[in-house]
């Protein structure tokens, strides 16, 4: 009986340990092992057909749900993997040891998830995957997948990058932060994405979505974002905020704030900084901090009223979102006139061959953006050419019209000034005479 009780309590102890949050949190590194197996086979042959076969057989065909998710999210193609493997041998050799030693981070990562759950008790489980990509993402998160881009996140200051072309300078810069030291920050950021509602494809939504993930990762890990955008933002916040307010509603500018350095500040991902500061302002005002975390994670980006109230309540911007939008609309160029007739005319001569429109400002003559009105293709005239005037202040559509027919031509907001302020859309709507 005594022996039975010892076995019983030992089994119970084992059962309870297996149910601890640490044991429940799955961290999968299978894809790294598969990648290196494929890598070794690829380098052992020179035949490109065999190389592709090995990539598929040992890596792509065995990809976990997480690896498949990363490939879809970043549109990685098999030829990209093969090209990278063959082009950067010194890089891959320098990063191999780090990628095969992910277990050293497991305790810290699982502790981070537990800290996140304390802040947000409604945390839904997600699986963490170490994936291998081709330099387009250190991490991402969606559904129940928190994905680490290992070729980014496990590089360090000793990683060899001399083989990289200039267009991979952003990867070189990433390694200077010593990424493994911030792997817990990255993981919490991506884990938060698995809890959030999907963001819309606009500057404000993306700013809140990414900034909130950064803000929570900072609170969980006690580490500030190690990237240039954070320190730059703190030092230049006033002028950064002014520029963001001016471009917030400009659909042409979202990429400048998020994906590259093609902006006046020459700094990528500034959108993260703005969103984090809005989240921080609301958090600091809240008496119930857990409720504030819950609110920011569960924001419904499809609910304009909810988003507007959240941003306005932070007091971060100099004006309300409504006022900022009105300010932007007033700054947009417009069509001031149709030279040949009044818009809406019902007796336009069918013999007319040109329709010329004047703009309130000089437009970028390299860009033309024309679409259908509510009548669709059937209401669109035969157009032989679209030509800007040399001064960019007008444009002429050369058309062929039929009698007694209603026509529409939509000048879309792809038309824009040289500093990328989009045109207020303008619908030409008229009917020809008999």
Single pTM value for the model:
0.87
User: Closest Cα partner for 301 from 420, 173, 403, 207?
Assistant: 207
9 has a pLDDT exceeding 90: no
Task: Assign 255 a pLDDT band (cuts: 50, 70, 90).
Answer: confident
Is residue 284 very low, low, confident or very high in pLDDT (cuts 50, 70, 90)?
very high
Kindly report the average pLDDT of the chain as a whole number.
93
What percent of the chain shows pLDDT beyond 70?
95
**pLDDT at residue 160 above 70?**
yes
Backbone angles phi, psi at 95, to 5 degrees: -100, -10
The Cα 86–Cα 92 span in angstroms is 10
Residue 309, pLDDT > 90, answer yes
Q: What is the pLDDT of residue 262?
A: 80
pLDDT at 1 exceeding the cut of 60:
no
What pLDDT score does 8 carry?
A: 38
pLDDT of residue 4: 41
> What's the confidence (pLDDT) of residue 259?
79
**pLDDT value at 16 more than 80:** no
Q: What is the pLDDT of residue 23?
A: 53
Q: What is the pLDDT of residues 107-140, one digit of tens each?
A: 999 999 999 999 999 999 999 999 999 999 999 9
What domains are there in the chain, each with its CATH number? Answer: 24-195 (no CATH), 225-331 (no CATH), 335-431 (2.60.40.1220)
The b-or-e profile of 294-330 (16+ CB within 10 A means b, else e) is ebbbebebeeeeebeebbeebebbeeebeebeeebee
Provide φ and ψ at 45, rounded to 5°: -130, 160
CA distances, 263 to each of 127, 233, 254, 381 (Å):
36, 14, 10, 39
Q: Does position 41 have pLDDT exceeding 90, yes or no?
A: yes
> Does position 5 have pLDDT exceeding 70, yes or no?
no
**88 vs 254: which has the higher pLDDT:** 88
Q: What confidence score (pLDDT) does residue 15 get?
A: 36
Arithmetic mean of pLDDT, 234-251: 96
**pLDDT at residue 54 greater than cutoff 70:** yes
């Amino acid at each position: 009986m005594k022996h039975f009780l010892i076995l019983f309590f030992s089994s119970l102890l084992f059962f309870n340990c297996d149910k601890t949050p640490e044991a429940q949190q799955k961290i999968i590194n299978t894809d790294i092992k598969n990648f290196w197996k494929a890598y070794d086979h690829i380098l052992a042959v020179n035949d490109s057909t065999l190389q592709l076969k090995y990539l598929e057989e040992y890596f792509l065909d065995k990809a976990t749900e997480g690896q498949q998710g990363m490939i879809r999210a970043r549109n990685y193609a098999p030829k990209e993997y093969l090209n990278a493997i063959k082009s950067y041998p010194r890089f891959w050799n320098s990063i191999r040891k780090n990628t095969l030693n992910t277990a050293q981070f497991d305790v810290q990562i699982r502790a981070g998830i537990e800290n996140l759950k304390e802040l947000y008790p409604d945390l839904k489980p997600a699986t963490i995957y170490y994936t291998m990509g081709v330099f387009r993402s250190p991490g991402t998160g969606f559904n129940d997948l928190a994905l680490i881009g290992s070729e980014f996140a496990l590089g360090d200051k000793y990683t060899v990058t001399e083989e990289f072309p200039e267009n991979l300078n952003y990867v070189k810069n990433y390694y200077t932060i010593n990424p493994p030291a911030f792997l817990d920050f990255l993981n919490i950021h991506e884990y938060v994405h698995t809890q959030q509602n999907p963001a819309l494809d606009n500057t404000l939504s993306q700013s809140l979505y990414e900034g909130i993930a950064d803000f929570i990762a900072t609170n969980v890990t006690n580490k500030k974002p190690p990237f240039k955008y954070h320190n730059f933002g703190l030092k230049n916040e006033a002028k950064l905020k002014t520029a963001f307010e001016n471009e917030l509603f400009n659909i042409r500018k979202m990429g400048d704030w998020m994906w590259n350095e093609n902006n006046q500040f020459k700094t990528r991902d500034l959108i993260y900084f703005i969103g984090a500061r809005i989240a921080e302002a609301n958090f600091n005002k809240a008496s119930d901090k857990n409720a504030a975390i819950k609110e920011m994670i569960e924001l419904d980006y499809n609910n304009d009223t909810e988003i507007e109230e959240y941003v306005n309540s932070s007091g971060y911007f100099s004006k309300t979102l409504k006022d900022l939008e009105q300010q932007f609309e007033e700054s947009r160029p417009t069509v001031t006139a149709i030279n040949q007739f009044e818009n809406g005319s019902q007796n336009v001569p069918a013999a007319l061959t040109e329709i010329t429109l004047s703009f309130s400002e000089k437009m970028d003559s390299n860009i033309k953006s024309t679409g259908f009105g509510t009548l669709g293709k059937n209401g669109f005239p035969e157009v032989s050419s679209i030509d800007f005037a040399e001064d960019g202040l007008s444009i002429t559509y050369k058309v062929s019209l039929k009698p007694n027919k209603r026509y529409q031509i939509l000048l879309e907001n792809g038309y824009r000034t040289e500093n990328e302020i989009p045109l207020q859309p303008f619908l030409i709507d008229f009917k020809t005479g008999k």
